[in-house]
Amino acid sequence: MTIDTSTGTTDLPRLPQGAPAGCPYAPPESMASLRDTAPLTRVVLPDGEPAWLATSYELVREVLTHPGFSANPKAEGFPRWNLPGGTDLPVSMTHADPPVHTQLRALVSGEFTPRRIRRLRPDIERITLERCAAIEALPQPVDLVAEFATPIPALVISLLLGVPADDLAGFERNIRLVLAHDDLESSERDQAKLELLSAVTKLIADKRARADDDLLSKLITENPDMGDMELVSFVALMLFAGFSTTAHMIELSALTLIQRPDLAERARGDLSVIPALVDELLRYHSISRDSPRRAALEDIELGGVTIPAGEGVIASVQAANWDGSAFPEPDEIDLDRPRTPRHLAFGHGIHVCLGAALAKLELEVVLEELVTRYPNMRLAIPDEEIRFRTTTHLHGCYALPVDLGLEAGA
């Protein structure tokens, strides 16, 4: 079926945004309604431009795998609203099509295989235990976001990049400030950006002079023609994709376990269910509000509708992960849910998150420690006082004051 797209946008629904009342993690109610009635429909984006919106599990998977859709923001019709830099974004795996995407991914994919990532488990366990000791030494209550969820992935990324021990504290601090998306003064964030860029530039120069056994050293050694700006762009991608998403998943997972003590109790009694718990939490929270965007390079039939070349598509991962036809009772966290179909929290197709195995390993280590070490952990404020991030690309909360329940567990 071909739909006439030459008319204006006045009669089109707006792109659903925001969370329904009472559940900051769920897709917007209008998104769920569209998925049930019109899983592929034209909508108006916040900048006034039209685009297609795919909301069912099957259609989102098809958008993310069809070679006729481009991830390049320079492609005609690409939904560019709120992208920093517009069409001037640096070339990265996120915004590249084959063969450039294939070449960029090949540079580092070998370092992110499940086998390689499993070798990091002792280091991730050490970092987690050190943060546990740190929060236990603090007066209670403690902010689990600032003192636990945020430092752990920042330190893991620093470890991967080979940041020297003496520079770790400053590196981790500036990562947090640059990617905080909170109420920081712009001058403070700008200063942190300058310091982080300076630190990354120095780190690259040091690795060029003396390579080590870290990801950045290997990238430089194996690709001597890569320029400094290409390396800075790669580090920036690592920081955003490997830090922010994991930090927010840790804090939301901890909150979910506090609010659902039955889940924590089951995991504590059977640690083998923790991988399933991690998968369900990833599906349930679908951490990013900013769904993958594509542009049709050719006329493409999708769900019985022809999307003309040069038109944009939004593939709502959040709506797909709450599609009841793929995941019965999607608003429930079911540890016995079948492993197929797979959730789309890490995307799908050639752009599936390269760091998926690392993120899952971090979450498994952290959640195992939380459920076993703090069986009496509880919120230090009423649920309704938690400040959730509602205007940022990623779900999360600004702070999570908790009492670890150490006295009760003594």
If DSSP states are collapsed to H, E and C, what string results for 27-72? CCHHHHHHHHHCCEEEEECCCCCEEEEECCHHHHHHHHHCCCEECC
Q: How many CB atoms lie within 10 A of CB 284?
A: 23
Q: Taking the domain 29-409, which CATH number applies?
A: 1.10.630.10
- In this structure, what token pair is assigned to residue 198? 């300076």
Domain spans, the chain? 29-409
Label residue 314 by pLDDT band (50, 70, 90).
Answer: very high
Higher pLDDT pick, 249 / 110 = 249
Collapse the DSSP code of 300 into the 3-class scheme (helix H, G, I; strand E, B; otherwise coil) and give the result. Answer: strand
Label residue 270 by pLDDT band (50, 70, 90).
Answer: very high
For 105, 210, 214, the CA distances from 218, given in Å and listed in that order, are 14, 11, 6
Reported pTM: 0.90
Average pLDDT of the chain is 87
Average pLDDT over residues 92-120: 86
Label residue 405 by pLDDT band (50, 70, 90).
Answer: very high
What is the model's pLDDT at position 33?
Answer: 86
Higher pLDDT pick, 221 / 166 = 221
Average pLDDT over residues 77-100: 74
8 Å CB contact between 366 and 135: no
Q: Give every strand in the sheet of 69-70, ordered side by side.
A: 40-44, 50-54, 312-315, 293-296, 69-70
All residues at 6 or more sequence positions from 63 whose CB lies less than 8 Å from its CB, including other chains:
54, 69, 292, 294, 302, 313, 315
Q: How many CB atoms lie within 10 A of CB 335?
A: 15
8: pLDDT strictly greater than 70 = no
For 16, 150, 205, the CA distances from 198, given in Å and listed in that order, are 39, 22, 11
8 Å CB contact between 352 and 242: no
Among 101-110, 253-262, 313-322, name the one with the lowest average pLDDT: 101-110
409: pLDDT strictly greater than 90 = no
Higher pLDDT pick, 180 / 63 = 63
Phi, psi of 388 (to 5 degrees): -90, 150
Among 41-55, 103-117, 368-382, name the one with the lowest average pLDDT: 103-117
Cα–Cα nearest to 312, from 110, 42, 22: 42
Beta-strand pair 40-44/50-54: antiparallel
- In this structure, what token pair is assigned to residue 362? 């971090």
